[in-house]
Amino acid sequence: MTTNTPIHEAVREHYAERITSNASCCGSDNCCGPESSLYPSELLATLPEGESAISYGCGDPITLASLEPGQTVLDLGSGAGLDCFFAAKKVGETGKVIGVDMTPEMIERARSSAKRLNLNNVEFRQGYLEDLPVESDSVDVIISNCVINLSPDKSKVFAEAFRVLNSGGKLAVSDILTDGPVPSAVKQSLSAWAGCVAGAVDTKDYIGMMEAVGFKNVSVIPVFFDKATVDSAINELGDTIELKTISRDEVYKAVYSAKITAYKL
């Protein structure tokens, strides 16, 4: 069973609490930096007036995706909908954007924002990345922002992404990866998992899982060592004995944010 595991449950509870308390960012602190710093100002300027940039992301998959009018886009783990709203502007009325997320509170927020913004080319579906509620061979571009690291079955997520992409389709995601060991106390913590750190896997394993399901031309470009995300995830462990034994430097060195692209050829 790759859906509704205890990890899914912990992640869902975490993000339901984040959105219902109107908190931006993934962890207890301002983990991802000011959300506006993730996106170029020209892109932020395309947000309809009155829409706040609620982001739980760790990068800018929109610029990475180079979207064009008329394309069908799928956002894996769409959260409050920010990347879908940017994508909707880029693909225009002839295009279509689908956001999938397992947390009902996120879907509700994203749907009500889309309605308020009068966006008719965006649809939000509740579901799991490991069992996408999307037809096979129906999507031109898949985007995702800081979500795949949260899945306990990343191979299944990549297999599902590959299934729904059209031939020639592109995957463009921002995600957290690791390069080197992460202390086991951090790895075992469900709250550190929900804060986008414990679930992150080594770069070569990540690439290996993508290639194993058929993705070609996989590229991983490191963006920044995200100290704030790490601090937030570790702080969530509370004042435990494990916390005192963790070398933060070791975690800072290992965990980073990346831009990932790959193709179904």
Among 39, 124, 128, 206, binds ligand SAM (CB under 6 A): 128
Residue 124, interface with ligand SAM (CB under 6 A)?
A: no
Whether the CB-CB separation of 87 and 97 falls below 8 Å is answered with yes
Name the DSSP letter for residue 48: P
Burial class (CB in 10 A: 0-12, 13-18, 19+), 190: middle
Residue placing its CB nearer to ligand SAM in the complex, 23 or 242: 23
Nearer to ligand SAM, 102 or 220 (CB): 102
Cβ proximity to ligand SAM: between 132 and 251 the closer is 132
Q: Per the structure block, which two tokens stand in for 34?
A: 């000011």
Question: 67-99 burial by CB neighbour count: b if 16+ within 10 A, else e?
Answer: beeebbbbbbbbbbbbbbbbbbbbbeeebbbbb
Number of residues counted as binding ligand SAM (CB under 6 A):
27
The binding track of 95-114 with respect to ligand SAM, each residue x by CB under 6 A or -, is: ------xxx--x--------
Closest-by-Cβ residue to ligand SAM is 79
Q: Which of positions 129-158 make contact with ligand SAM (CB under 6 A)?
A: 129-130, 145-147, 150-151
In DSSP terms, which residues pair with 178 in a beta bridge? 202, 255
Cβ(171)–Cβ(260) under 8 Å? yes
Question: E strand or H helix at 104, and its extent?
Answer: helix 104-116
Nearest alpha carbon to residue 151 among 170, 131, 137, 165 = 131
Choice between 154 and 170, CB closer to ligand SAM: 154
Contact code string over 171-210 relative to ligand SAM, x by CB under 6 A? -------------------------x--------------
| Contact residues for ligand SAM, defined by CB under 6 A | 8, 11-12, 15, 26, 55-57, 77-80, 82-83, 101-103, 106, 128-130, 145-147, 150-151, 196
